[in-house]
């Protein structure tokens, strides 16, 4: 599990390799990642947008920007959490993802919340240490 806290918003991410959806002989590897967003602060926030930077072991970079997550723009009151699961394919057996969420307070102030960098590793891939 990976975690990051920004301004009392805690982000937890747990990636899972999806062997049944992957085709290593075709250089196609798929991961799911489960995200928990916890509002540990004293103000209500709304998740407005997301940004992801996904880099595979070959150095290919894919960036994703858009409103909300999984079709929603959740509102989290103090003490509330929101969870969702999404996924990403890679053309290599490993990679890394990180990003941020744009949040907005009831007062209209926007701020970015860090999504921790997390590793995507196929359990069957040969590991190399540099």
Residues 66-77 have pLDDT tens digits of: 999 999 999 999
- How many domains, in total, are found in the chain? 1
- The Cα 29–Cα 57 span in angstroms is 12
Residue 129 covered by a domain? no
The domain of 107 spans 2-121
Residue 130 covered by a domain? no
pLDDT-based confidence at 124, cuts 50/70/90? confident
CATH number of domain containing 93: 2.60.40.1470
Residue 22 covered by a domain? yes
Over its C-alpha atoms, the chain yields an Rg (Å, rounded) of 16
- The Cα 62–Cα 97 span in angstroms is 10
pLDDT of 5-63, one tens digit each?
999 999 999 999 999 999 999 999 999 999 999 999 999 999 999 999 999 999 999 99
Mean pLDDT of 117-123: 94
């Amino acid at each position: 599990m990976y975690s990051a806290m920004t301004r009392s918003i805690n982000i937890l991410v747990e990636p899972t390799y999806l062997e049944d959806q992957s085709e290593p002989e075709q250089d196609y590897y798929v991961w799911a990642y489960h995200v928990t967003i916890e509002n540990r602060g004293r103000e209500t926030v709304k998740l407005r947008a997301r940004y992801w930077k996904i880099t595979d072991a070959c150095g290919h970079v894919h960036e994703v920007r858009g409103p909300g997550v999984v079709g929603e723009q959740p509102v989290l009151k103090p003490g509330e959490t929101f969870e969702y699961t999404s996924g990403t394919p890679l053309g290599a057996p490993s990679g890394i993802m990180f990003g941020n969420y744009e949040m907005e307070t009831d007062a209209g102030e926007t701020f970015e919340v860090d999504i921790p960098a997390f590793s995507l590793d196929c359990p069957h891939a040969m590991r190399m240490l540099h």
